[in-house]
Amino acid sequence: MELTAATGRNDVTENYVDGLSLEEKASLTSGSDFWHSQSVAGIESILLTDGPHGVRKQPEGGDALGLGHSIPATCFPPAVGLGSSWNLDLIRQVGEALGDEAKAEQVSVLLGPGINIKRSPLCGRNFEYVSEDPFLSGRVAAALITGIQSRGVGTSLKHFAANNQEHDRMRVSADVDERTLREIYLAGFEYAVKTAAPTTVMCSYNKINGVYSSQNHWLLTEVLREQWGFDGLVVSDWGAVNDRVAALAAGLDLEMPPTGTDTQIVDAVRGGDLDESVLTTAAERLSTLVKRTAAARTEGHTYDVERHHELARTAAAESAVLLANDGELLPLTPGGQTVAVIGEFACSPRYQGAGSSQVVPTKLDNALDAILDLEGADRVTFAPGFTFDGTPDDHMVTEAVDAARRADVAVLFLGLPSATESEGFDRTDIELPADQIALLEAVHGANPNTVVVLANGGVVSIEPWKDHAAAILEGWLLGQAGGSAIADLLFGITNPSGRLTETIPLRLQDNPSYLHFPGSQQHVRYGEGLYVGYRYYDSALREVAYPFGFGLSYTTFDITDTSVDAGKNSAEVTVTVRNSGDRSGSTVVQVYVHDASASIDRPAQELKGFAKVHLDPDESATVTITLDTRAFAYWSVAAQDWAIEPGDYEIRVGFSSRDIATTDTITLAGNVGVGTLDAMSTIGEWLAHPVGSAVLGAAMAAAAGDGAQAVSPEMMALAGSMPLGKLATFGLGITEEQVAQLVAAAAQPGS
Ligand code: BGC
């Protein structure tokens, strides 16, 4: 058997399924228990388990769900953190470590990554997802998949698709137009499938436009397999199958956990309701998955717990985003000041979200211990400040204020208590608990040198309290080494380099999905269409608290030169970036594309390339970012394909969607024809059409020559949106016969 480096796939040419009975084949399409596939006729049973940022394997004899009782494993930063690193190399390394840990536990498929788009900041599971942007989500997913699968362990790209809320997730229909689906909600999956070949894709619970994902032939077969070339296995989300036979027919291969309905499949085949070849194909895919993941089940694999903890620390440090740093209050100097550490999160860290992704960590760092180590015990005081149940406590506030008053700097650890966000339900607001904000105001009143460190899986509103913090470090959920990573960042041992993967709005109500979330009566209408996250804020020129892509550093960077080399429908962007400050650090060069001559509706700009660059002071680097044809394309529903309009495109290079350093304009040939004209084409369309404008222009000139009244610009503007044929209907100087002649003339090649 041969392993291919990129995907870890085994040679899968041998077919074990031929010759199996109907019953045996049906058995291969459901699990044997909550976490295992069935063993049939020599095809091994394999273990599939969560995922995504650590291995959650139930101990032998443990209960099925067993949240919080799994075998210890490294808890890497959940996607909300890891994605914010924008460091694909690091993410791949985390994937490799996850693969090693899965292998050590004989886990054949790790159930992740999850890349549903953060449509609303309220989605309770946003901590498990990467971004509001599909380009970034797809790249992060591909890096993780490549890393995990390099160890021979399979992955499950989830939740396919349009599972963008927890509310009613098992029934709700995400009602979304096709172009939006293709460009926003499917694009990340498409990239990851095409470039990293996950061994499995997990369908979502919800419906899409009225059809359960688990029974959605268009989604699971036409799009995923026929158009994207996916050749792996589709597994249900746990419990997502509602009709076994319909699911199989749609392209779902494995039902997890089993519902004991294999006989339904057999009966359907015998009764002529299901083609046996569909069942055979699904069984073959299971058999192929078993073979592809054979390396995951090699005995004696171990991993270095300490090394993985250090990797988790590095990843956490790259994931936190420095939002504010007035007067360069940060970094602190180790042993250089007195510090009041305030907030229960400093010693009881919130480092992962609740639900199926919850890992039992191998160890757990807390920030207080790490700060004590760096600062020295005699210079640090601690006050818990608040309780996680949100009950205001005057005594705790007084104690915290006293500590802050006596210290040079107050570092407040605030955030969302774990009860407020989880898989299974959505939030109803994005505010920090009121008692924490009151504490912050009191502490800041006593000591303006106040630093806020946040712990939250979903975005929290910062606007209401930002004037009470000199520095703000958004720590998201950073995994088991987040505590020490935070201390590293506060004291400048590591220079912050995380960047926002989602916009922080001024207020929840600004979010484009606000009026359409989470829907009602089992439907949620994606009324904002393409305008998700910064695609909306930047198109509507809405002020935001912190834009997509934003993040500060203890040093500064300049883009000193950009050149764009345009092809027919692609471009190569070469950017020189320089560290203009006095510390080593990393930045993220971001490339946004603006379609300057769009005739169709398009977001003002879209991320189409990025590169994370590490530079010493005064050092420069030149990075080349390739924009392939997809960087310029939109989904044409009419053509059922990706289309590029001819015309000008701006290539905007900068450090966030609102911090653009250089703009270059290129002209692309496009790949769409000019379209045909008919009687219902408007006069404006006739005049914009290279052939139609000549034909119509000649007809108008001839009419003017015959003494007809010349058409004024005002008249043209008024008539521009009127179909040409309607002029005849209204008797406005043209007959239906003449319209027909013009249509024929415009259609003639070479006319
Ligand atoms: C979650 C999946 C998870 C599965 C198994 C489901 O409820 O949505 O993400 O992989 O459970 O735990």
What are the residues facing 594 on neighbouring strands?
A: 650
pLDDT band at 715 (very low <50, low <70, confident <90, very high): confident
Contact (CB, 8 A) for 456 and 416: yes
Compute CA 513 distance to the chain's CA centroid, rounded to the nearest angstrom. Answer: 16
Q: How far is the CA of 283 from the centre of ligand 1 (A)?
A: 22
Contact (CB, 8 A) for 256 and 235: yes
Residue 52 has pLDDT above 50, yes or no: yes
Residue 128 in contact with ligand 1 by CB distance below 6 A:
no
pLDDT digits (tens, 9 = 90+) for 511-546: 999 999 999 999 999 999 999 999 999 999 999 999
Report how far apart the first and last C-alpha atoms of the chain are (Å, whole number): 62
Residue 109 has pLDDT above 90, yes or no: yes
Residue 104, Ramachandran bin (φ over 0: left; ψ between -120 and 50: alpha; else beta): alpha
* pLDDT at residue 676, as a whole number: 85
* pLDDT at residue 675, as a whole number: 76
Compute CA 131 distance to the chain's CA centroid, rounded to the nearest angstrom. Answer: 3
Q: Is 102 helix (H, G, I), strand (E, B) or coil?
A: helix
Residue 3 has pLDDT above 50, yes or no: no
Q: Which of 35, 47, 238, 254 to mutate to test the pocket of ligand 1 (most atoms within 8 A of CB)?
A: 238
Residue type present at position 738 = Q
pLDDT band at 4 (very low <50, low <70, confident <90, very high): very low
What is the sign of the dihedral through the CA atoms of 443, 449, 455 and 457?
positive
Residue with tokens 């924490």, as numbered in its chain: 436
* pLDDT at residue 1, as a whole number: 30
Q: Is 694 helix (H, G, I), strand (E, B) or coil?
A: helix
* pLDDT at residue 586, as a whole number: 98
What are the residues facing 339 on neighbouring strands?
A: 380, 409
pLDDT band at 11 (very low <50, low <70, confident <90, very high): very low
Residue 481 has pLDDT above 50, yes or no: yes
Residue 60 has pLDDT above 60, yes or no: yes
Q: How far is the CA of 159 from the centre of ligand 1 (A)?
A: 9
Residue 742 has pLDDT above 60, yes or no: yes
Q: How far is the CA of 502 from the centre of ligand 1 (A)?
A: 24
* pLDDT at residue 673, as a whole number: 73
CATH number of 22-297: 3.20.20.300
What is the sign of the dihedral through the CA atoms of 213, 216, 218 and 221?
positive
Residue 124 in contact with ligand 1 by CB distance below 6 A:
no
Phi, psi of 105 (to 5 degrees): -105, 10
Phi, psi of 285 (to 5 degrees): -65, -35
Residue 151 in contact with ligand 1 by CB distance below 6 A:
no
Q: What share of the chain is helix, strand, coil (3-state, %, to 5)?
A: 35, 20, 45
Residue nearest to atom 6 of ligand 1 (CA): 238
Mean residue pLDDT of the chain comes to 94
Instruction: Give the count of beta carbons closer than 10 Å to the beta carbon of residue 472.
Output: 25
Break the chain into its structural domains and give their ranges. Answer: 22-297, 320-497, 557-668, 683-746
Residue nearest to atom 12 of ligand 1 (CA): 356
List the structure tokens of 392. 């205001």
* pLDDT at residue 625, as a whole number: 98
Q: How far is the CA of 530 from the centre of ligand 1 (A)?
A: 27
Q: Which of 47, 50, 357 to mutate to test the pocket of ligand 1 (most atoms within 8 A of CB)?
A: 50
* pLDDT at residue 748, as a whole number: 65
Mean pLDDT on 164-168: 97
Mean pLDDT on 393-409: 97
Residue nearest to atom 7 of ligand 1 (CA): 238
What are the residues facing 73 on neighbouring strands?
A: 361
Residue 238 has pLDDT above 90, yes or no: yes
Phi, psi of 382 (to 5 degrees): -125, 140
Residue 301 in contact with ligand 1 by CB distance below 6 A:
no
Q: How far is the CA of 356 from the centre of ligand 1 (A)?
A: 5
Nearest atom in ligand 1 to 163's CA: 8
DSSP letter, residue 340: E
* Distance from C-alpha of 318 to C-alpha of 288, rounded to nearest angstrom: 37
pLDDT band at 751 (very low <50, low <70, confident <90, very high): very low
Residue 111 in contact with ligand 1 by CB distance below 6 A:
yes
* pLDDT at residue 725, as a whole number: 92
Task: Give the active site residues.
Answer: 237
Q: How far is the CA of 158 from the centre of ligand 1 (A)?
A: 9
Looking at per-residue pLDDT, the higher value among 19 and 406 belongs to 406
Low-confidence winner among 63-67, 90-94, 440-444, 704-708 (lowest mean pLDDT): 63-67
* pLDDT at residue 126, as a whole number: 98
List, in order, residues 6 or more apart from 488 with CB less than 8 Å away: 313, 317, 370, 494
pLDDT digits (tens, 9 = 90+) for 309-366: 999 999 999 999 999 999 999 999 999 999 999 999 999 999 999 999 999 999 999 9
pLDDT band at 7 (very low <50, low <70, confident <90, very high): very low
Mean pLDDT on 609-624: 98
Identify the CATH homologous superfamily for domain 320-497.
Glycoside hydrolase family 3 C-terminal domain (3.40.50.1700)
Residue 722 has pLDDT above 80, yes or no: yes
pLDDT digits (tens, 9 = 90+) for 658-686: 999 999 999 999 998 777 899 999 988 88
Residue 479 in contact with ligand 1 by CB distance below 6 A:
no
Mean pLDDT on 252-270: 98
Residue nearest to atom 3 of ligand 1 (CA): 356
List the structure tokens of 365. 């760092």
Mean pLDDT on 552-574: 97
pLDDT digits (tens, 9 = 90+) for 412-426: 999 999 999 999 999
* pLDDT at residue 18, as a whole number: 84
Residue 717 has pLDDT above 80, yes or no: no
Residue 27 has pLDDT above 70, yes or no: yes
Query: What's the Cα-to-Cα distance from 366 to each of 341, 350, 354, 457, rounded to whole Å?
Result: 12, 10, 19, 17
Q: How far is the CA of 265 from the centre of ligand 1 (A)?
A: 24
Mean pLDDT on 171-200: 98
Residue 5 has pLDDT above 70, yes or no: no
Contact (CB, 8 A) for 392 and 435: yes
Residue 158 in contact with ligand 1 by CB distance below 6 A:
yes
* pLDDT at residue 14, as a whole number: 62
Q: Is 384 helix (H, G, I), strand (E, B) or coil?
A: coil
Query: What's the Cα-to-Cα distance from 266 to each of 24, 253, 279, 388, 598, rounded to whole Å?
Result: 9, 15, 9, 53, 53
Nearest atom in ligand 1 to 159's CA: 9
Nearest atom in ligand 1 to 111's CA: 10
CATH number of 557-668: 2.60.40.10
Residue nearest to atom 11 of ligand 1 (CA): 238
